[in-house]
Structure 1
Amino acid sequence: MIHWLYERALMQGITLLPSHICFMITERDMQATPGKLAQVIMWCRAVNLQFARSKGETTGDRESGRCAIKSVMIHISTPDPARMLPCLPAIREVARQSRLSLHIGELTEVRGKGIEVCVAIGKSGRDEIASCIRKMAHDKIPPAEVTEQTFEQYLTFPYTPDLVIKTGGYHLTDFLIWQAVYSELFFSDVNWEWFRKTDFLRALRDYQARVRRFGK
């Protein structure tokens, strides 16, 4: 009962939501709690609904994505993506409540509908940047015409997260090294396995308290 009241108090204090969120987890995290992924997406959907109700928004407002978490990125760091194959059924369960885009090795699959969810397994930001350069060279883009906007058209993951959440400590990978340069970072001491909705709400509360400068 006390836990529920605390969760409710945290939610009532949220006045601003990040549109795009990225969670950074490890292979071990995913193996320990395969069902956590679907649970986290359920939290995001619940937060959207509760936030909309608190603001008196209409169904149309919610569907248009105003004042809502629009997309969730999950990066699972692993030196060998093949080790994640047993977890794929649990990951695909996410498609029951979202539009899932799954990236593992050379495989990309899209299924479901709803909030945008992208799961990237064992992907590297440096590899993505190198791939962009190769693609631009293949398309014979003149060096003088290479701008930030041109480069971003070649990104595999065209996501710019407002908030990056890393559970279990301060170690980050190079994933989204270009896209997340101006993102707000939240490090939770709680491991992914024990990460609760209250921890997620704390991250959202922390985000809204920050002044985003976008490198300025």
Structure 2
Amino acid sequence: MGVLSRSELVFVLTVLAVLLILLIFFVIPRAGGGAFVVAFSDRGDINGDGKGEYIDGLDNLRIGDRGNLFMAQLSGETSRYVYIRFEDMSWRDEDLKPVDPQLPSSQYQLVLMIYLHGATLRTMDVGLSYEPSIWIVAVDTGQNASYGLLRSPVELSDVRFFTLNSTPATPPPQLYNVGYAHFTRVEENRWVFEADAWFLLLKGTEEYYVKLSFETDIEYRKL
């Protein structure tokens, strides 16, 4: 069996991550007494659909945390979506040369996964920003296609069921070190993820880098 290429490896890891997390979220029941709520800022490249907040358990959405991982599954049998402004982003090819946008600005379903290194949502210090690994899957239901966006302070080839080792970042340092991606616990039951940073983008077997800016507000509300 041949060695997987970088794009094939990242694609396989992304698919396995999504399948594993969906299995965990559907098999393990929700914690009682509350629900996670997600909202996207109107500023930036990922915006909401104008229908209000995304709430766990409504509209067939699943949002929650398991250990070091937070996940918002805004995809599947749901009418909800986000608007992603791909045409407003800066794009680079594999050689880091500027290229025209390769995807249209449009409605997409979304899976957002945030992996915290050395902390969980429940153990994060209030006011302290963390640098997580981020997996985003944008699903174009009209084209029956999905695209992966990834940013991690460690090399994705060293992922072992979300046990990550300290190795080079993705995207490469000359892009990774430009901008920021921070996850902050601002109150006991409220977190904010802010990014203005380069991500690796996978479009089939093609690899690109995009400068993605967005802000997500996450809240756990007791029912």
Shared topology, TM-score over 0.5? no
TM-score (norm 2): 0.27
Question: Higher strand fraction: Structure 1 or Structure 2?
Answer: 2
Higher-RCO chain (CA-CA 8 Å, sequence separation at least 6): 1
Question: Higher helix fraction: Structure 1 or Structure 2?
Answer: 1
